[in-house]
Amino acid sequence: MKNKGLVVLSGGQDSTTTALFARKECKELHGVTFDYGQKHKIEIKSALKIAKLLNLKTHEVIKIPHILKSTSPLVNPKTKLEKYASSEKLPAGIEPTFVPARNILFLTIAGNRAVLLGCNLIYTGVCEEDYGGYPDCRKVFIDSMQKSLGLGISGSSKHIKIKTPLMKLTKKESIFKALKKCKNMKEFNKIFIETHTCYDGIKGGCGKCHACILRDRGFKEAGILDPLWSLRK
């Protein structure tokens, strides 16, 4: 393996699964986590723990508060977080938690760090399946962003590759992939009990927000016990 990678690690299920892919593909793996003014810092604490468990060579928490403004309940304390009774009740279209330009900013900064670290690959856990309809999680956006980063950094659209191993996977499929990337079920549980998914910032999850519902459905469809359920009250 000659690749050096940089993973955007939020501390959530998808970014952690993506980091497991990267661990298998890179001789050297670095991580970046963003403190962008989100209401709940529990995901940053999760990212710090996961970075250690995956033995990342370096892990940087980059603070960029007060830059991203939005009506999203993830960053706006005045906006109420929507809760749902089941996955059938989830709304169509773009989820109200969407923060415009967030992934544009994250990937731009990741591109800067990738150059400094000598990484040719950037990994991000975005996907087009089982997601909240976010425009910046689609393949067409990633392809465009990869081209722009390359042209802006080196004049070549091939300078940096953005890898999205979960792009076409459902939550169920990504869980199976994560399990295969782990040494055994014990390592899987050790890692994923540290992940944080809940938009409400509740350890173990609230079970009612959009993110919790998609995660719960994925584990149930996979027939695997989510280690986080042991922490749910």
Tokens of residue 4, six digits = 């050096």
pLDDT tens by residue, 108-125? 999 999 999 999 999 999
- Percent pLDDT > 90 in the chain is 91
CATH superfamily of 4-231: HUPs (3.40.50.620)
Residue listed under structure tokens 């996979």: 222
Query: b or e along 199-210 (b: 16 or more beta carbons within 10 Å of the residue's beta carbon)?
Result: bbbbebbbbbbb
Domain boundaries, the chain: 4-231
pLDDT of residue 201: 96
Whether the pLDDT of residue 55 is over 90: the answer is yes
Who's near 196: CB < 8 A, 6+ residues apart?
11, 12, 42, 43, 45, 46, 203
d(CA 232, CA 159): 44
* pTM for this prediction: 0.96
Tokens of residue 61, six digits = 């928490």
